[in-house]
Amino acid sequence: MEPISEVAELFRHQRAVRAFSDREVSDEIVEQVLTAATHGPSGSNTQPWRWIVVRDADVKAQVSEEYEAAFAAAYADRAPARADDRQPFTEVPVLIVACVQVPSTGRAGIQTGASIYPACQNLMLQARALGLGSVLTTLHRVKRAKIHEILGIPEGWDTAAIIPLGWPDRSYGPNRRPPISEVVMRDRCSE
Amino acid sequence: MEPISEVAELFRHQRAVRAFSDREVSDEIVEQVLTAATHGPSGSNTQPWRWIVVRDADVKAQVSEEYEAAFAAAYADRAPARADDRQPFTEVPVLIVACVQVPSTGRAGIQTGASIYPACQNLMLQARALGLGSVLTTLHRVKRAKIHEILGIPEGWDTAAIIPLGWPDRSYGPNRRPPISEVVMRDRCSE
């Protein structure tokens, strides 16, 4: 994919990329996308995140095994979207694990996501701007206990997403969306 | 705030803006930020969102009353961040309510956030690019039942955030973050 420097072009060119070329992803690029992530907003600006950069083949293989089991269970009775395009994590150059601190109530809820997914989106947008592909995956949460053990996630932390990152396997066009009039309402819900 | 057209400048210039000038926010601008939102990613690309654009003074006043009660309760025993800078919703030009479909399990969890907060972030980044300010607020959830009644949110839907939108009251510098080395780990958690 071509790099994008203009904000005006950025959002409609983000695509879910699940397969990557063999081209190396440099540490410098990983730093750039993580820097964008950490400039994201969070509740009361607490920045309650940690980011694990997984390049180690053995860690990838262990995480991949659990993820594939979760994937098989999730799609036991329906076809996954774009199954042919998906590489297992073992073949992905870099996995970024987005970790978020669990609130003092002890349980992550939808609001917890408000302090980590905007930062994930920054990461993915910065990746797209550089010409890299990524995708936000959360299916690992089905096998969370095992994956937390593999990654050594401590008490008080949760894993919000695993984001594969790499140079795309091919070119991707812009994303397509229906007109906003289909999803926008004025002042109150009207259905 | 100055508009930003370069992706390279965008992320570090997003600030939480909670007070706005009287300058009108046009329908065209609201459409632009909502278009950016709907180009965001979502789980299996389901785009499980609706966006309520609140301009009506009466609806704003009702939501504001509940929000202020939630705010007072949340900060009963600690000082809120930048309290002086915050306007009540009644004075905010436009409120965008981000609604998300509740999964078939019947309860929104952190993962539900993965299909709405990236879109919210697109909205806020596009707003910033245009020179507008916004902030992601979730405190309304404390008074969710009442606020859902005011907004007519149907069964099966939840409200992930209320995003005040307007021209900032003043100029804001870039956001500041610690070096990423403080929050990035290699392959496994190490603490």
What is the predicted ipTM? 0.97
Which own/partner contact pairs does A34-37 have at CB distance under 8 Å and 24+ positions apart?
Answer: A34/A96, A34/A123, A34/B180, A34/B184, A35/A126, A35/B11, A35/B177, A35/B180, A36/A122, A36/A123, A36/A125, A36/A126, A36/B11, A37/A98, A37/A119, A37/A120, A37/A122, A37/A123, A37/A126
Fold for B7-168, please state it.
NADH Oxidase (3.40.109)
pLDDT at A129: 98
Q: Residue B186 belongs to what H/E stretch?
A: strand B184-186
Q: Residues in chain B with pLDDT < 50?
A: none
Question: What would the DSSP string read from start to end of A141-191?
Answer: GGGHHHHHHHHTPPTTEEEEEEEEEE-BSS---------GGGTEEESS---
Show the tokens assigned to A109: 């809820």
Show the tokens assigned to A181: 């009039």
Q: How far is B78 from chain A (nearest CA, A)?
A: 12
Amino acid in position B47: Q
Report the C-alpha dihedral over residues A86, A89, A90, A96, rounded to 10 degrees. Answer: 140
Dihedral (CA of A89, B11, B40, A8) sign: negative
Closest chain A residue to B16, measured at CA: A41
Residues of chain B contacting residue A6, judged by C-beta atoms under 8 Å apart: 5-7
Which of B34, B99, B184 has its CB closest to that of A34? B184
Q: Could you give the CA distance from residue B116 to residue B38 in angstroms, rounded to a whole number?
A: 9
A50/B189 CB distance under 8 A: yes
B8/A161 CB distance under 8 A: no
pLDDT at B82: 62
Question: What average pLDDT does range A68-91 have in this prediction?
Answer: 86
At B115-163, the pLDDT tens digits run 999 999 999 999 999 999 999 999 999 999 999 999 999 999 999 999 9
Q: How far is B46 from chain A (nearest CA, A)?
A: 11
Q: Quick count: other Cβ atoms within 10 Å of Cβ B37?
A: 29
What is the radius of gyration, based on Cα positions, of chain A? Answer: 17
At A118-165, the pLDDT tens digits run 999 999 999 999 999 999 999 999 999 999 999 999 999 999 999 999
B151/A34 CB distance under 8 A: no
Cα angle for residues A10, A13, A19 (degrees, 5° grid): 125
Specify the 3-state DSSP secondary structure of B41. Answer: coil
| pLDDT-derived band at A182, boundaries 50, 70, 90 | very high
Question: What average pLDDT does range A39-63 have in this prediction?
Answer: 97
Indicate if the pLDDT at residue A81 is higher than 70: no
B188/A151 CB distance under 8 A: yes
B184/A12 CB distance under 8 A: no
Cα angle for residues B18, B24, B26 (degrees, 5° grid): 110
Interface A-B, measured as beta-carbon pairs within 8 A, has a size of 234
Mean of the per-residue pLDDT values of chain A: 95
pLDDT at B81: 65
